[in-house]
Structures are given as C-alpha cells and as structure tokens.
Structure 1
Amino acid sequence: MSCLALSLQPANGSDILLQTREWFPPARALVAVSSFRETRLAFAASKQHHHTKDHPSSNSNSTSDPSADSIASLGDDPLSASSGQLIVGVESRYRVVYRLVNSIYVLGITTADHDNSINVFECIHIVNQAVSVVVTACRGVDVTPEKLARKYAEVYMALDIVLRGVSNIRLAAMLSSMHADGIAKMVHSAMDTENKIRGAESWRGLEGLAVDHEAGIAAFNHTAFELPPETIAAGDEVAASLAPVVQSEEKDQKEEEEESEAEKDPFAASEKINQPQELVTGFKKNKDPSATDLQLALSTLEVTTLPPAEATQSTHIAVEGFEGQYGGIEFGNEQASLNEAFEGFSDAWGGGLDASEFVGTKKVAKSQGLGGLELLQTGPDPPKAAGAAAAGTPLEDLVGKTEMKGPEMNIVEEISVEFRESLLARVALKGVVYLKTLPTKTSGDKETEFSFRVEGTSAVKRFIMQNSRISSLGNGMFHVRTAASDEPLPILKYSLQPRLTPLPLRVRLVQRHTGSLLSVMIQYVSNPELPAPLTDVTFVVKLPLDPTLLKVSPKAVLNRSEKELKWHVPEIPLNGPPGRLRVRMPVDSNEEDGGEEIDVVAYVKFSWQGNRSLSGVCLRPASEGMTDFYEVNHRYESGVYMCN
C-alpha cells in the first residue's frame, strides 16, 4: 500500500490524531511524525536565527544535529508552501507528504521508495481526500483544533475509511452524511451508495424482481387461451359467405375448392407449385418439341412487334440500402447516361425533392407533359381525344370548351415500392402540388394571388416550395402570387415517411425451380382503404431467358425481345380475394449459367384519378366559405413498383 498512516499535526501544540493501518506499528508512525516536527521546528529556528544573526559563519555549526541532512534536503524555502514532501529518519527512512490547512498539517506517511516500488501519487491522492474530510468537518478552511474536537469521532472514522481507499462517489456520500446522518450512514453506505449513483440496482431489489419474473413465466406457461366453439363456428360461416362463387369448368372449380381449403393465409405458398409433373402435361422431355406442341402452347399468346436493336441492350441495376446513396448501379449500355437508361430511378427512392428543379427560366416542352412528371399509360387511349385529333379539331378549341372559373390546383403523387417475396423492403412516396392559372388571353397581365392551407400532413417527412411564387405563413398556411401561365406550375413538393406511407397494392412473387421446370406465381391483393378500386393494372415479369414453351394462367402477352410477360387486369376489387398469375416454362440445364440461382423480377404499373390523394394530403381555402381556387381531380401513379 502506498499510504501507511495519516496524522493531523498543528503548527503549535501536540498532535491531534494519528490513524495507521493494522499491520503498521503506531510507534514507527510516531517516529516519522516526530521527525517531521523536529525538522519543521529546526528549520523555523534556523530561519529565525538566519534573520537575526550577526555573524553568518556561525550558522552552519549551530545546525550540526542529526536533522541537518534533512534540513539540507528541503531546498531553499521548505514547509512554507501549502503542500510538499519530506524524507525523514536515519535508519528507517519515511517519506512524509504534507498539506497545510490554516494552522493544521495533514500528513501522509509512506516508505522512502528508492526503487520506485511505491506509488507516491496515490499517497498524495489519499492526503487530498483527508483534507476534504477535515475541511468538511470544520465547515470551511478555517480549521482549528477546537472545531476538530467537536467532530472528532466523525473525523476519526472518515480518515480510517479514507486510509483504506475509497472512490470519489463514496467520499462524496461520506462528506454529505458527516453533519446529518452521522457515523452509521458514513460507515454502512458502501455498496448502496455506488449503485444508486451509477443507476444500478442492489441485489436486495433485483432478487424480488427475479422471483416475480420467474413466477410470471411459470404462470404463462400453464395458461391456455381457448375460443368458444360458437365463435369458431360463426367465423367459419362468415369466411364461407365471403368466398366468391365462380362459374367455370368442373376441373377449375375443383382446384379452387382444394386451394381454398388448404390455404388460409392469402400469401401462403401454394402446394400445387410443388407438383410440376401433374400440372404441366404438354411438355416433353426432348429438346426438340414438335410443331404441334409449339402451336398448342403459343396459340393463346399474342406476340408483339420487335423493338429496334438499341432497345434490346441489357441494363443491370443492383440497389442496396435505403434512404441513402445507392451504389452498385452498372449499365451494360455504356452509350446511355443514367437518366437516359433508367429515367427517374434516383428520384424514386429517396433522394428526390431537389429544390434546384425550380431554378431557371427554361420552359418545359409540351411533349413532356406536366413538369416532366409523366403519367404511366397502362390502359388504352381515350377514344374522344383520338377522334378529335383525327377530325382535325384544334387543341385550343378543346381547351376553350371547358371554361375556367378561376385558378385550379391538384396533387400528383408517385409511389415506389419494393417487395421481397411478401415482405416490404422499402417504400417512398413523393407528391407535387400543381397550380393552373387562368390563360394569358383571359387574364392579361393580372397576377394570380390567393391563400390556401394544406391539411393531412401528419405523415409528411419534408416540404419544399418555390419561393418565387409561394411563401409560407406558418401553421400549414401558404400564400400564392404569380403571373398568369398557360402551363401548370409546380409550387409545392413533399415526401412521406416510409413507415406512414399507405400501400395501394400488396404483391408477392414465389418461384420454384425443380429439375428442368421453372414455376413463377404472383399474388396480389388491394388495400381495402383505397378511395376507389384500381383499374387497368399491368403486371410485367422479367423472364431470365427466352422461353421455348410457356404455360400461363390467365392469358398474357409475351415480348421475346425484352423477355417480358405482361398481364392486364381490368379491375382489382377492394375487398376481393387475392389474385393469382401463374407461368411455367422449361429451363434447360445448359442455360442456367453454371448452376446459378435464377432471379425473376416483377413490376406493377397503375394510375388512378379522383377527388382525394393517396397520402391523405388535401388542399383547403384559407377561410371557410371562400373559393379562391378550385380543386380538380388528384392523381397518383406507380413509380418503381417491383417485387423480387
């Protein structure tokens, strides 16, 4: 141990206290303390004699006592500072670390370490802790023997604990209990004090919690939750009433009944997909199928025309991470840039809402639609517009037929989703608020100016606005002031938080590769909370290779150049049963690229137009009863809606 004893020695008078370790004799401690006193008094006498001497040469002879060496080792002005060290003793030498508090010396005694075996800094630390005890007992630095005598028992016990080593946490607790709770609190506050300061629990408290925890586990293990038979029977009746009745052939009806009995979860894997030999009866094992088999397999497929050769160049996209920098984007077509090869990909997942899109006076070409945000055309063209164009009716006449009563505003949203089987991997939704002012021919040079408020923004993650046309008034209020324009103007853009983004369609893709047969099934179900059912939905499956034979259910369109298979679903009901799209194709072992796993990716394209937005964001006038603007149909559409 570094510190062997602690002592309180006044400048004038007898020692107040001496505290030693059990195995260190107090007699040796008294020798060190008395040697320190003699050295101090001898130096004080020599210093006084030095100031009052008449003959300087007689000073060295007057101090030729045993402590002369110690006095010589003290330096120029020893013991005048408030702290220091001193080596005392002749045969048994001790190092005394001292601090002077008012007129009391606080001494720490240790051995003189010639071989550096003693940590002097630890002894200094213990002396500093003893000084804290003395100052606290005297309620200040005015330390006197009378004040120490009043708190002698507390000081004695505190120095005894400090001599054996305490942490700063327990020392603070001891000092706080010196004038309040007394010696009992000081002595018995070891473990509980440190546990409370560190935020830990004592074993006395943890033991009760552990017993309660084990008792709760045992109780739950022996608890059974059972439903009454009446409730189960009522649920079966309701489930039977919800099952659709489809009039078809006896074979198809039997298959649907078996699947409805076997599959309770709409996204559970079908057992039929593991029976390739029974379901695929038109395939032959040989690699050269006859013309009759080819004609029979392709009789229900509509083959589209071949695109130009530039469109068939492969594009490989590998995306990892979410809401960050997406690396690993590599394109086989080096002639095309990122935006040309896959337009809008970087905007779909995250980064989006770039305010620099508002900067500049370059007008958007009319062929690019509203602000470059294209509507994905999944259904046939409207016959009226086609007929009007064929008849040669000018576009100005068509616009003029629907006269505008005032400025119009609508919301266009784009949702991008990625499923991995039935799990949602990532989702992003971006919305744009468009303003359409009165035409320049009607309004002239008059500016459009009004205020509006945006509601339903609890799920919005970020808003940006075009400062040149719109300003924020706070609390969801905005003020618009802009010149007339013939084109719709994007004034607000926003994105939703991923966890609060509603999904219009849930998609699952399952594939099985058994032997030389690849089976793929897509299951989809609509969100029952949509404002209206989705119509004209297109499902696209990227095939891994050019198929020789295909069996699809229901009918689909095959594009051999793109290796794509498309299904067109006219309408998906809100509360209807899950839809299924199946495709089976033979895969030769030579075409598996060295036995690697075959990846199949499915894309979904849809759009909807109505009187409310998908995210719930709505536009309202600034005050009730005002018609500063007219709210037209909103629209939401699919961006990168995929499943792999």
Structure 2
Amino acid sequence: MSCLALSLQPTNGPDILLQTREWFPPARALVALSGFRQTRLAFASGKHQSSDDAGDAALVGDDPLAASSGQVIVGVESRYRVIYRLVNAIYVLGVTTVDDDSINVFECISIVNQAVSVIVTACRGVDVTPEKLSKKYAEVYMALDIVLRGVSNIRLAAMLATMHGESIAKMVHSAIDTENKIRGADSWSNVEQHSVEHEAGMESFSNARFELPPETLAAGDEVAASIAPVNQGLSEQDGQQMEESQEQKDPFAASEALNKPEALVGEFKKDKDMDSDVTKSLVGLEVTPLPPAEAAQPTHISVEGFEGDYGGIEFSIEESSLRETFEGFNDAFGGGLDASEFVGPTKVAKREGLGGLEFLQTGVADGTTAAAASAGGTPLENLLVQKSEMKGPEMHISEEIQAEFRESLLARVGLMGVVYLKTLPPKTGEKETEFSFRIDGTTSFKRVVMQSSRVSSLGNGMFHVRTSASEEPIPILKYSLLPHSTPVPLRVRVIKRHSGTLLSVMIQYVSNPDLPAPLNDVTFVLKLPVDPTLLKVSPKAVLNRSERELKWHVQEIPLKGSPGRLRASMPIDSNEEDVEDEIEVVCSVKFSMQGTKTLSGVSLWPAAEGKTDFYVVNHKVESGAYICN
C-alpha cells in the first residue's frame, strides 16, 4: 500500500491526530513522526549534518523542510518516508515505506493533498489552527479515515460538501452511490432488478399462445366471401372479352363511344312502371306541408315601456321601422334610448360635453363658476395622468433599515440595499440589455451578493449587466452595511412611569441632521399592555382596541429642530400589574422616503463619463423592524 498513516503535527505542541491502517502498528507510526520532529527541529536550529555522517535521517530534494511541502526519510533500522505539507502552522504528514519498487510515491502525495483539502474545509479557510480543528474533530477524524483507504475526487467533493451541513453518518454512508448519482448511472441493485423484470417479460411473451374459437373463424370466412366473392367459372362471353382485351390495340384509334347514341343521363332509360315505383317509395314518409300564405306577411311587434308606447318593429322591413321608432339608432354616441323624451310634450335639452366629467378637474359644482360653465367641457386627454415613456434601462436602489432602541441606547442596527434594473418591455423589440455601470460609496459595505447569471464583476466597483428583457424590475445586487457605519435616520426614546394605577408613556424622537431629505409621513405605533378604559393622549392619536395599538401620524420631521414628544396616559388596575418591570411598552416606527440620494450614500454611475447606457430614477428608503422598548 502507498500510504500507511496520516497525522496532523503542529509546529509547536503535541500531535493533534494520528490515523493508521489496521495492519500498521501505531507505535511504528509514532517512531516515524518523532523522527520527523527531531529532523525538523535540527534543521530549524542549524545543527543538522549531512546524510553521510548521520544515518538517522536522509533528505530527498534540496532542503525540503525549508519549503511548504516535500519529503524526508527518517529512522535507522526501520526507515520510513514522510511526505509533508505545511498549512499555516500545522504539518500534514503521510507515512510510507522507503522501498520504491512496491509503492507509488505519487499516490501517497495525492492522499496527503486530499487530507489538506479536508482540514482546510473543516476550518473554512487556510487559517488552520488546533482550536478550529478541535471543533470539527469528529468530522476530520472520519474524513481522514476514509481518505487513508482511498477515495475518488467525486466522493471527496461530496464529503467536503456535507462536512458542515450534515451529520457524520451522512458523510460515511451516503457516499456509496455518490459517483453513480453524479455520473447519472444507476446502482447495480437497480440495474439487476430491471434486467430481471425484462427477462421475465420476454419469457412470458414468448410462451404466450393465442387461439381463436372456430365460431369466430367461420364468421370471418363468411364476411370475406361476401366482400370478395370467388368466381367459380368464367362464361364464354367473359372469356372472349378477356381474349380481346389481351390483343394489342392501336393507341391512336378512335373511341367507340362516338358511335353510341346520345343518352340523357348515362344509360338511363325510362321505364313504364317508373311512376308506380316512385309512388311506392314515398309511402310511409312524412312530408312537411307548406306554410300558409299569411305567414309571409310582415309581423308587427309593439314595444311598450313605463312612459308609454315606443312604437313597433316590422320584421320584413326591420331597418326602416327601427329608424322610425328609435331616432339615431346607428349613431355611436348621442342617439339611442332616452326615457326623458317621453315624459312631456317638450324634450329636455341634452347637455354638451361628457356629462359632468368636465368639472372633475376644477372640483366645483354645476353652475358655480361662469368660466367652468362656458368652457363646454374639458378634453378627456387632459384629465388623464401623463406617464413618461422609458428612454432606456432604468436603475434604482431600494434600502431597508432596521434598528432597535432600548430606552435611549441603540442596541442593534442593520441596513440592506437592493439594486433594481428595469429593462425596456419586450414588446418594444429589445431582446437583451447589456451595459456596464459603477457603484460609489462602498467603503462601509459588509457583504455584497450579485446575481451571477445576469451580472459579472469587473473589479474596482465596476459591474457588467447582460440580461433579457422583462416587464418587472430585476434585483441584480444586494448589499449590507457594517453596523458602526450604518446611519440612523431617526433616534427614538420611550419613557414610562407607573405611579399607583396611572401609567404614563412619553415618546421622544429627533431626526438625523445629515439626512438628504426630511422624513415625511412618519407613523409611530405604541403597543399598549392592556385595553385602556380611559386614555389621554397628546397630540391626537388613533386607538385600535382590537390590536391594542395607539398610532400617531407626523406629517414632517425637520432635520434641525427640537425633539418631538408624544404622550399618553391610562389607568391600569393594580391587581393585574403590581410590578413596574412586568409592564412592557413597545413603540415601532414606520417611514419611507424617495429621492435622488440614498441613506447609505451609495450611488450609481455609468462606466464611462458622458455615456447614458441607463437612467437612474428616484431611490427608495423604508423602515423595517424599527422599534424601541
């Protein structure tokens, strides 16, 4: 065998792990590891000797211990070859024999490299330390045990994928059919089962016999005889016709049809008994009689309503009668039925315009303004909201900030932003959108995730977009900020006082003066501990008794102004709430704003100045879980 043992040996300290084969004694492996340690320390102190003077250690290569990987031969009587790789401050060692004829050194080197992949995956990087290995000691032990016995690259990849997400049993037992699953092949058990079923099916079909009863065969013969009767013999006339047909005829000879007399319908001849035959054939058939002559006359149907008789319609002259009954029947607008025309002798004058829609823009009643009355109606196009058409792809940033205050201290804060791309609609003919853009203000980023199928990073904050056209905005980038670099748009403080049976709550808030725009339409929601019977608030608020919530709506919070205050007081039964700490009052804040600047300071720019590959629209900022308790 190529590799007899695997070990993890730190530069300073005892060995972390030793994994040997069943037939290789661990004591011999410890002798080889001790010899490697002594050789390494000797080279580190500079007191080593050449291989001619000292026979306890022989080096392979030019000073291998000075590099990150190599091999060294240790031992006097029992000599072993130790292949090593240095990862951070830990040596990964593979022990094998010195005899080059019976082993493959390169296979042992491959096993050592696989062991390096295991410990790097267990420590989530090349920063391999004994402390990190101790946390995943069981997974590393089982993985090195499997690697020592030989493992393919496909199974090794499956083991590394399950090291942090699945249990050890999943790592060990699920790898039996891993290669078959990845390559798309079935296991032998499935193939064997399918082959057995196939053979059984073939045998059953080969042994099957189908016999028809004699009644069915006799019925089939009768049907065949009726369809194609068999001629028992040919008459003399038929034999002569066949002989004549077999004789060669002149292809340019005239047709004999010219000599035949003309007939009315083929060879039809009138029979004397034809009239009697027709009469006999019509016996038993129901013949529909003709309608009377009165049915062909026009029918008049009168139309009556709750105002009187509207006239009538004659179905023989529908168009003229409709025109006489309903004036302007063919007009798209302005004609039709109007019941007010039949109320009195005089017709009510119809208004011009759209029947009141011309006053929607002015917001006044009919006749209040002389200018509106004389306008004659506003065109419908002016009443609709004009929506600007897209000139090209549009991008904007949507940020959501979450914060938690405990009284006046900021406990947690977090901000996540999403970069959205809106392409031209597919109906415009644009199938793909492709351009490059630049993101500035990324110094406070903690993590960035991009949709690799649509966006690729070019480095230095440059990105390239290539995507198909879509009706909806597409999220292409997501980022989060560091907590200490996240700006807080609004600082909130909740103070409560419980004296006797009276509970008083005050909410103080102040805006961040460095915001790009003041906050508008801010809602403060106070969660009450009980359903209040008597409630006093300042300023006015809305109470939702089912949810036990009290809401204040603030139109605008100035950037540089005095702190705002919201107060509420209510009586609480002392029997229910005796201790002040048991009363929990939570305030949540909801706000949103739009503008050309983002809260985090992130901005989007074209890749090159002067290009307009895309257009930046207003960015959005909204609050998530913004609470104070």
Higher CA-based Rg: 2
Regarding TM over 0.5, the answer is no
Name the TM-score class by shorter chain.
0.3 to 0.5
Relative contact order (alpha carbons < 8 A, sep ≥ 6): 1 or 2 greater? Answer: 1
